[in-house]
Amino acid sequence: MSTENEGNEGTGAESASSVPSAPPVPADAPQAHPQDAPPVASHPDATETRQQPVHPAPEQQAAAPSPAPEQTAAFPTTPQYAPPPPPQSAADAGWPPPPPAVPAYAHGAHGGGNGPVWGPPGGTHTPDAPRKRGAGGLVAAVVVAALVAGGIGGALGFWAADRNDDSGSTTVSASANPQDLKRDPGTVAGVAAKALPSVVTIEAQGGDGEGGTGTGFVYDKEGHILTNNHVVASAADSGQLTATFSNGKKYDAEVVGRAQGYDVAVIKLKNPPQSLTPLPLGNSDQVAVGDSTIAIGAPFGLSNTVTTGIVSAKNRPVASGDAGGGSNSYMSALQTDASINPGNSGGPLLSSGGAVIGINSAIQSTGSSGQSQAGSIGLGFAIPINQAKTVAQQLIKTGQPVYPVIGATVTMDEKSGGAVISDRGTGGTDAVTKDGPAAKAGLRAGDVITKFNDTPIDSGPTLIGEIWTHKPGDRVTLTYERDGKSATAEVTLGQRKGDS
């Protein structure tokens, strides 16, 4: 695979129709037995219940005539459900009349036509004595409430808000406990908070004015920063390098060593701070497909950007290069769907526990070749940290990389069905190095290598990527085809120092 480096409004129900109130009982009226007197209820409308009643003078009360029978009969037999008027003074003996035998809302619910009026509550009503509710009335009330509950939410909510009474607020405030603001170490926020202080944004400016922005992370307490070769290549020979931490502090840096084939580089801060905290390195061999990943970098110059995803694949053969097709590098990469864009290069790919499992290096893009930069489509590739660690140690120690080799030149055709050993090597040399590992194992020009240990090989770049996951001196098994027959060979890897 060839990739690019990523350089209701509700209102209350209408009030019940106005019904005249029952006349007051004369002061000298005889006391009626509850069982002899028919139930009479007051019928004030919703407006009248809010007005202060005018009490007649005592002498006027005594002179008041008793209500005529026909007047009493004019009242409806089913009382409406509305708040009663405020109680009169103690002088008004015998008022109010006894309560109805059946609660008002029971009749209304059973088709009396005068059901409960729903809307903003009126004044507070304190009954003279507890009233028992029949089972039928209770069921009816529940049914009515169930039918209209959805319609009163908006009205009651608006009424409560309109009163502007904080004491009746139904909002809930979040706890102000500082403990609630802490993030558990295993969360993305917890991992990011711990890792960000150890990630830097690298700005490389070449002597010819070319340059770019990438990412790196603290490798050790001595001030070494691990990143990609293509991030710092423009300023490697002559130019300026700076590394900016998440707190905004910027430091000048210089290149310690770089490996073009691995796309790994090490730079060092010229005046490193005393408080450097290296990121912990994980074991990329133990990573499993589906494991969570966290990427940190500066995509398109946006420093300290955190994205998440999973490990989409392992041992993905990737050949990457710059926009001009040069400076190719080969890797058996970790594939991730975490968003990686130009500027993420060199940044850490972390596990859910916060350990570095890879260095973000390349992306697959659907953009045309004429585009200088492309965005993430969920196909990002990272150099496994086990490999990058080995390279970093070499660069810090000697300043140059060491590559394992088989001593044979293979074609770079990605559709050859394997790694084909070329007829001739670079510059007209032999394709199979004399006395080299491949020659000693009996390999010849034209042989097609189809497997490296247990890994299928479909092209030359795939073979190189697999070889470079090992070290010089490692013994490997190659499966190859010659004249239509398959064979195997044991090969002890040799080495090559530096980029050629």
Please measure the distance between the N-terminal and C-terminal CA atoms of the chain and give it in whole angstroms. 23
Residue showing tokens 């039928």: 136
Nearest to 114, CA basis, from 41, 203, 30, 178: 41
Q: Out of 42, 234, 263, 339, which one is annotated catalytic?
A: 263
Instruction: Report DSSP letters for 442-463, one per residue.
Output: T--TT-EEEEETTEE--SHHHH
C-alpha 335/C-alpha 320 separation (Å) is 14
Q: CB of 6 within 8 A of CB of 359? A: no
- The continuous run of DSSP H or E covering 466 comes out as helix 460-467
Tokens representing 345 are 């290069």
Alpha-helix runs per DSSP H in 205-335: 229-232
Q: Out of 284, 345, 376, 422, which one is annotated catalytic?
A: 345
Residue showing tokens 């010089």: 472
Is residue 15 flagged as an active site residue?
Answer: no
Nearest to 265, CA basis, from 254, 277, 252: 254
Instruction: Report DSSP letters for 149-215, one per residue.
Output: HHHHHHHHHHHHHHHT-GGG----PPP--GGGG---TTSHHHHHHHHGGGEEEEEEEETTS-EEEEE
C-alpha 226/C-alpha 216 separation (Å) is 5
Q: Out of 107, 230, 361, 459, which one is annotated catalytic?
A: 230
Residues 6+ apart with CB under 8 A from 158: 9, 10
Is residue 263 flagged as an active site residue?
Answer: yes
Radius of gyration (Cα) for the chain, nearest Å? 44
Is residue 345 flagged as an active site residue?
Answer: yes
For the annotated catalytic residues, the residue numbers are 230, 263, 345
